[in-house]
Structure 1
């Protein structure tokens, strides 16, 4: 990816009103811009200067702090200027317009989404995993996710990946040295303990993958959809899981006409709980609004990571319930929730079955809710390890899986005679490339463009 060195500027704080707003500029040299904005003031690097922000005609737009970070000691590795004023949207737009006007003759332009962080990456201030962690920290929806994103931003994830890369490179060097000097007749596999080194790399990779997979749960969470006939207690269960009266609950069937969503967290994992309209036959005299609600229910079921199929434990299953089950997508975990055990006399319990896990509970009386929470964690693959997790992305997990596959093939070649050493070395190279793509050493430009385009403007 080619580095565009033209100076850029943008509002760096979120849209809306706030006590403080920041306009940020970055470029190879911002001395001309600073001179245009503040002709009578010298900004000392890394010192805050309280100063009026004036328009071109000398009228004051705002008053605030100007901070100058001289390259390379800045976020982007370039000269950076931050103007911190009041957080009104009109004031910030006026201030940004003034900055762009002052820098126009020097090539200053509006920044693209993620361009500040992209420059930090291209100037070796951050590697790619750290750059992605910036966006993850901003978007973190739980405390655990924020802590894990901070871990990755500090470079902890990158460090363990670098260690795996170094170990793989060292093993590659030994293999390729043997290929280069076959006349030495060195028993490579035995004397260099190649199999033992490879097994150690695979074990380390597995450990990193487990931590990354758990961290990915903190970032992505699960979409949990509540499905069932009208009046089986879906809205009551949503309220019980959320710990608040999120959805309207009445004895009238069909109260919920549209989806109601609430994000909760269990052990730091965000769960997007979606309550849907009760499903019944279209020909049961339902009105057009409920018909649309039922259609939207099936739309949410199609996007679910987990389906909670609610049934009335006091009434038992019906033919309509079997019809609902038959329409569930294949491969999505289903939990049968037998609600209203306070009326049926059942006790709270989890029962395993061939078709699904069955949980007996009462949403109204909060009986068995902890059993459901534990089952959702089990489905998510969550394990309480006490270790620091890395807020990994799906592309990281794909790269780690691919690296493991190449190492497994390498192990097969290592178990054969020396005629397979060239294939052994090639699989090690492929594994190395997959691992290096996580931190950006071998990442294609088009992927970099996708990654940074998802950042907010000003970051």
Structure 2
């Protein structure tokens, strides 16, 4: 990929007021920029220099610390200059404008989103999985997600992927070397234990996938939608799960007119709990606002990862409840919750069934809430293995699944024990390409553009 080598600059700290703000510049040679900003000053690499930041006319903009990192010993692999001053938005904009003005002659421009990290990747300071972990660490919404992102940033995820790639390459070398000696093909699979090597690669890949899939949950979480008729206790259940009164609860039908979303954590997994307007199946008594709320309820149901269908245990099932269930989308897990057991006399319980899992609880009395939490973890596929998890992205999971499919096809060719070694080798190559795409060794340029465009400016 061709690297734009023109120097760049941006504010590297988050928008808004703060005690400290940072303006960062990166380029092949920032000597002229430093001389223009600080005439006569000598900034020693990797040393903090307390110095005034002045305008072109000599007026002091701020007083702060200048840090100079000489290439290649920097985040981007280029010369990097960081100016750390006070974190007021106006001050930082003035300082950034001064830096851009001072670097105009050398082509200094405003950085694009994620361009500093993109240069770190293109200059081999980070691989692609590590670069993505930078954004994931910034965006982490839970402690568990932050720890997993830190693991990936340190290279833990990349190391296991590289190990899989190396194992695949070694097997490819054996297969392709044998192709040069056709008379040896019959004995190759046995002598080199090719099938055993392939089985070991598959086992390792499956282990990595399980860790990555669980890590993806820490990043994405689940969208859990509460659905049911009015006054079955959806808002009460939201409050019970959240541990606070985030939704208004009244005995008046139709109190919830629009969705109420609250993000909670269960074992570090973020769950986006969405309370919706109660669904009525008849038009009588429904005003325009409530009708719109019901339409939005079905819109949320269509995007749900899990549906919590609430029913009133003190009243039992009704025809309206059956009609609601009939409209649920296929292939979305449903938990049927019999609420208000404090009025019905039931005890907290979980009853698995083919169509759904049935849970008896009381949101008002907070009875059986732990049973629901455990069921949500089960649906999420969460297991406390004690192993480090990798905060994987969907593209990582797709690549791992695709590599697994190619290895399965390779195993089919190996099982034929005939003249299929060339096809065996080709499937290994395709599996290797998929694995290499995770760390960026085999990644299309257009995908890189999408990945880094989602970073914040200044990172």
Equivalent residue, structure 1, for 2:379 = 379
Q: Does 1:46 pair with 2:46?
A: yes
Measure the CA separation in 2 of the matches of 1:340 and 1:143.
34
Q: Distance in 2 between matches of 1:193 and 1:99?
A: 62
Match of 1:351 in 2: 351
Alpha-carbon distance between aligned partners in 1 of 2:60 and 2:455, rounded to the nearest angstrom: 32
- CA distance in structure 2 between the partners assigned to 1:124 and 1:196 by the alignment: 34
1:428 partnered with 2:445: no
Query: Which residue in the other structure is 1:188 paired with?
Result: 188
Match in the other structure for 2:280: 280
Distance 1:373 1:319, change over 3 A: same
User: 1:203 and 1:421 mapped to 2: Cα distance?
Assistant: 21
- Alignment map for 1:304-383 (pairs within 5 Å): 304-383=304-383
> For each residue in 1:133-171, what CA deviation from the matched residue of structure 2 results, as whole angstroms up to 9, or x when unmatched?
000000000000000000000000000000000000000
What secondary structure sits across from 2:34 in the alignment? helix
Task: State the superposition RMSD in angstroms.
Answer: 1.0
Determine the C-alpha separation between the residues in 2 that align with 1:19 and 1:256: 41
| Cα distance in 2, alignment partners of residues 354 and 267 from structure 1 | 27
Matched, 1:266 2:272: no
Q: Secondary structure at the match of 2:271?
A: strand
Q: Counterpart of 1:415 in 2: which secondary structure? A: helix
The range that moved more, 43-52 or 282-291, is: 282-291
Please report how far the alpha carbon of residue 182 of structure 1 lies from its aligned counterpart in structure 2 after TM superposition: 2.3
- Counterpart CA distance in 1 for 2:355 and 2:20 is 55
Alpha-carbon distance between aligned partners in 2 of 1:2 and 1:314, rounded to the nearest angstrom: 68
Aligned to 1:106: 106
Structure 1 gap ranges (5+): none
Residue 185 of structure 1: how far off its partner (Å): 6.2
Give the ranges of 4+ consecutive aligned residues of structure 1 lying more than 4 Å apart after TM superposition.
183-186
Q: Secondary structure at the match of 1:296?
A: helix
Match of 1:152 in 2: 152
User: What's the secondary structure of 1:446's corresponding residue?
Assistant: helix
**2:451 — aligned with what?**
451
**Structure 1 residue 354: Cα displacement:** 2.3
Q: State the SS of the aligned residue for 1:9.
A: strand
How far apart are the structure 2 equivalents of 1:70 and 1:157?
29
Could you tell me how far apart the structure 1 residues matched to 2:186 and 2:423 are? Answer: 18
Gaps of 5+ in 2: none
Match of 2:399 in 1: 399
CA distances 1:260-319 after superposition (whole Å, capped 9, x unpaired): 111001111100000111111361222222122111111111111000001110011111
Deviations 1:164-197 (A, max 9, x none): 0000000000001110122456711111111111
Aligned equivalent of 1:161: 161
Q: Does 1:134 align with 2:134?
A: yes
Aligned positions of 1:67-146 closer than 5 A: 67-146=67-146
1-side partners of 2:36 and 2:297: how far apart? Answer: 58
**1: CA distance, partners of 2:225 / 2:420:** 51
Map of 2:226 onto structure 1: 226
Question: CA shift at 1:417, angstroms?
Answer: 2.3
CA contact (8 A) 1:410 1:424 kept: yes
Q: Distance in 2 between matches of 1:185 and 1:150?
A: 46
In structure 1, the residue matched to 2:174 is: 174
Paired position in structure 1 for 2:253: 253
The aligned counterpart of 1:298 is 298
**What whole-Å deviation, never above 9, does each CA across 1:107-156 have from its counterpart, x for those lacking one?**
00000010000000000000000000000000000000000000000000
Cα distance in structure 1, aligned partners of 2:396 and 2:269 = 19
SS of 2:338 mapped into structure 1: strand
Q: What CA distance in whole angstroms lies between the structure 1 residues aligned with 2:3 and 2:122?
A: 7
Moved more, 269-278 or 55-64: 55-64
- Whole-angstrom CA distance in 2 between matches of 1:245 and 1:75: 45
In the alignment, the residues of structure 1 paired with residue 450 and residue 106 of structure 2 have an alpha-carbon distance, to the nearest angstrom, of: 29
Contact 1:218 1:391 (C-alpha < 8 Å) held by counterparts: yes
| 8 Å CA contact 1:282, 1:291 repeated in 2 | no
- With structure 2 as the length reference, what TM-score do the two structures score? 0.99
Aligned residues: 459
Find the aligned partners of 1:109 and 1:239 in 2 and give their Cα distance: 49
